Each structure stands twice: as structure tokens, then as C-alpha cells.
Amino acid sequence: MENKELQKNTLICDPETGMCELPSETKTTDIKTAVTSFDKPVRLIYYTDPICSACWAIEPQLRKLKLEYGHVIDFEYRMGGLLPDWSYSGGGISKPSDVAHHWDEVSVYYDMPIDGDIWLEDPLNSSYPPSIAFKAAQLQDKERAIDFLRKLREMVFLQKRNIARWEVIELAALQTGLDTGKLKTDAERSARILFEEDLKMAREYGVRGFPTLFFTQNGKTKEIVYGSRPYEIFENALSKLYPEVSKSGYNKELNALFSVFGTLTAREFSELSGTPRKESEVVLDELVAKGELTRISTKNGSMWQR
């Protein structure tokens, strides 16, 4: 009974399934009203949450998907509401400190840096504030909003910053070039409505956890990928939906990758460059020694930036 409860807890992300599951069980239906027009042949609707550790785990796969198939995929990010508040939790987790050890464990499993001590030092009371802030960022610039979400994740997973606090959200917005005044105004008004619409659509589409990725054409679901999966699973889903798809080549040199992505973990660099994982940190640290990169270290791994 205890194991079943743990699997249904919103903050317990099962490494085997790669999912942070919701407690309710719903049925997936076609996404018939998600979009009204398509700029590219495929729309990828990605349901996520700023504090979803399994979503952090698929950053390498998503980044590679954008480099190789960004010419045929429109990426649409939606928020799923992983942690409304602490009265919502159960199944072995009743307070923030219960999450700390779990995050440390999945960090090792996913090979992505996550420091669970945030739940001991400055725990979040909800993932709704950063989720609403992301919807506000989308109103300004959808691409910059993705950079903003990345920054929020770096703050919570590596820097142990409480991204439910406005001052931390504001700093992330400043660092990604967003208008913080407009962000705050929108977060208090229209972005809340957009967030509620995301939650409503998640229920309608049968989202049962995060990450959930719907590969769609003409507003109808064709392929679904649940959880953290190897890159080939995402690529195969796209190929099934769009058999004539062609892969774009991209520059895999380290400097070129950092010109596209300002920060990379060792696993991301390995995935994107083709460098063996055991060698990736050595290559990155060589540039640290030359003063070209900075290493941001945690007890469970590191990230490098220009």
C-alpha cells in the first residue's frame, strides 16, 4: 500500500517511469482546441512544472530535439500545477523536508545536478507562483519565456533558491531580459487566467504526470511520450507522426553549443556534442582552467556557463 501511495504523490518522481505523477487517473483525449493554426507541420505540447525533477532530466533531450528538428516542430509549453500547496501532498511526503532526500536520489539517477537541500533550507510552499510567472513571461516573448523557465530551474535545482518568492522570480526575469514591471502586472492578472486554462486543458487531455509531451498535427494527438525517456523515444514519436521528416545538422563544437545555450550540464554537453559522458567533464573543465567557462558546482553535479 505504501509503495502505491508513493507512486501517486505529486513530488515523488519515479525514476523507473521518469514521471512525477498526479494522484488522479484520467483518460487521454484528442487535443482538438489547443491551437488554431500551425506554423510548422508538428506541434509539440509539453506539460511541465518548474519544480518537476523529471522535467529537468529531459532538458538534454529537448535541447537536442530543438537543434535537430526545430524546423518542423512548434514547441508549446504548458504548466501543470505539480504542487498547489502542502495540504495537497500525501503518500509518505507530508512536509518539505521529506522531498530533500528524494531529490538527491533522482539527481544521481538522472545524471543531472539537483541539490535537495532547498527543501531543508528555504522550501517552496507551492509551484504555482513560478508557473504563473512563466505564463506572464509568455505574454512578452515565448522564446524568452523558455529561457526564463530554464533560469528558474537552474535557481531551484542548483542554487537552492526559492522560486516561489517574487524577488527570486524577478531576478530570473532580469537575467533573461524580461520587463519585470509588466511581468508582475501580468502575473497578478491575465497570467493567472492563462494558468487556470492550462490546468483545465491538462484535465481534459488526460495529463497524469510530468513531463507529458503530445506530438500533434491539426490539433489532434498522434503520439504521446510520458516521462524522462532516451532521446530515441522522442525522435521515434516524431518519425511516426511525420515519416518524411529530415534531421538538421548542427555545429557540435563546444563554443557553438554555448553560443546557443548559455549553460550546459555535463550530460547535456555529452548528449549534444556526442562526447562520451566520462570525458565530458574533462573537456568542460579544460575551458574552466583557461578562463573561458565557469563551473557551478553542487553536491550532486555541476553546470558550466560562459
User: Residue 2: its pLDDT value, please?
Assistant: 30
Q: What is the pLDDT of residues 141-181, one digit of tens each?
A: 999 999 999 999 999 999 999 999 999 999 999 999 999 99
Which grid cell sits at 84? Answer: 498547489
Q: What is each CA distance from 96 to 93, 116, 151, in whole angstroms?
A: 8, 10, 22
Distance CA 21, CA 38 (A): 30
Q: How far apart are alpha carbons 42 and 219 in whole angstroms? A: 9
Q: Say if CB 11 and CB 83 are below 8 A apart.
A: yes
pLDDT tens string 78-93? 999 999 998 865 556 7
State the Cα–Cα distance between residues 19 and 106, nearest whole angstrom: 11
CA angle 185, 159, 195 (to 5 degrees): 30
pLDDT, one tens digit per residue, over 181-223 is 999 999 999 999 999 999 999 999 999 899 999 999 987 878 9
Q: What domains appear along the chain, each with residue ranges and CATH number? A: 2-125+200-240 (3.40.30.10), 254-305 (1.10.10.10)
